[in-house]
Amino acid sequence: MLRTLRREWIGYLFILPNLVGVLVFLAFPVVFALYMSFTDWDVLTEANFVGLDNYRTLFTDDPLFWTSLWNSTYYVLLTVPTSIVIGLGLAVAMNQAVRGITFFRAAMYVPVLTSAVAVAFIWRWIFNSDVGLLNSLLYRLGLPSTIGWLTDENWAMISLAIMAVWKSVGYYAVILFAALQGVPRSLYEAAELDGASSWRRFINITVPMIGPALLFVTVIAVIGSFQVFDQVYLITNNGGPGTSTYVYNLHLYNNAFQFFRMGYASAMAYILFAILFFITWLQLRIGRKRASGAYDYA
């Protein structure tokens, strides 16, 4: 009995550093932020409890809240479907047994490993309306080459989405490629014997069989896109032009670290958490049946 208890305590001692780290750097900040969302706190003075005033102000007296929420939603709608479609196409390409495919697989993942700051500055040059690479290429092709990619309100968010897709699509492609590796070849052989075309095999076998991976990719893509901040902060000069790229996390950052409205920013953080929780729950609820159906079919 004593020996068993001793073994258990030794095990607890091994996990104690990680447990302390989780409590100090994750659990405590989450609980503390929830409490601060009900206060008026500027870091320098004592917090003043205001109840639901922060939430009430956000929904009724802060037009930038709705602007930033819409901009983030628009960004998600631009990046998530595009990233998943391109990522799936790249995954299918990586699944082919052709010469040089190993190099292609590695090259697809390089943008994911590249620093966000470096990516932002490179794409800022590419999108430069005067000496940028993109407009220069359009000029050589005889196409309109005076587009203000980062200075035109109609193009600024699209430009950010292009950059985001380029950086993240390799990550999704690798996950989907791993899922493709697990699809039994016998299913394709049976479908081919039945006379199914390549497109029919892709729609009726490939997509259902990698359903769980597609669901996972969709969930993390939505969460990641809603949390976009660094690209906007580095490229568009605080959400410009105007408020066309003023996303939710930028508004949260400004309230917290520019105006020192920590309680207000905490309320914004919990609203974003609620939104992402509901979207993720909805995605899992819709996707669970399809994912399980694929395994039943297999």
- pLDDT, one tens digit per residue, over 18-63 is 888 888 888 999 999 999 999 999 988 999 999 999 999 999 999 9
pLDDT at 292 over 70: no
* Average pLDDT taken over every residue of the chain: 90
* Class of residue 227 by CB neighbours under 10 A (exposed 0-12, middle 13-18, buried 19+): middle
Using N-to-C axis directions, what is the helix angle for 156-181 and 101-113, rounded to 10°?
A: 130
Bridge partners, 39 (sequence order): 49
181 vs 96: CA distance, rounded Å: 10
Residue 291 scores a pLDDT above 60: no
What is the mean pLDDT of the segment spanning 176-203? 90
- Domains, the chain, with CATH or none: 55-297 (1.10.3720.10)
Angle at 281 between CA 264 and CA 31, to 5 degrees: 35
pLDDT of amino acid 97: 77
Kindly report the backbone phi and psi dihedral angles of residue 277, in degrees, each rounded to the nearest multiple of 5, phi listed first.
-60, -45
User: Tens digit of pLDDT for each residue in 247-278?
Assistant: 999 999 999 999 999 999 999 999 999 999 99
Statement: residue 237 has pLDDT above 90? no
Rounded to the nearest 5 percent, the helix, strand and coil shares of the chain are 75, 0, 25
CA-CA distance, 201 to 190, in Å (whole number)?
10
Cα torsion 88, 93, 95, 101: sign? negative
User: Residue 75 in contact with residue 228, Cβ under 8 Å?
Assistant: yes
Summarised one tens digit per residue, pLDDT across range 52-92 is 999 999 999 999 999 999 999 999 999 999 999 999 999 99
pLDDT, greater one: 82 or 100:
82
Question: At residue 17, does pLDDT exceed 80?
Answer: yes
263 and 252 Cβ atoms separated by less than 8 Å: no
Q: What angle do CA 144, 241, 130 make, to 5 degrees?
A: 40
**Rounded to 10 degrees, what is the CA torsion of 241, 243, 248, 250?**
50
pTM equals: 0.90
The distance of Cα 176 from the centroid of its chain, to the nearest Å, equals 16
User: CA 223, CA 78: separation in Å to the nearest integer?
Assistant: 14
Q: Is residue 49 classed as helix, strand or coil in its secondary structure?
A: strand
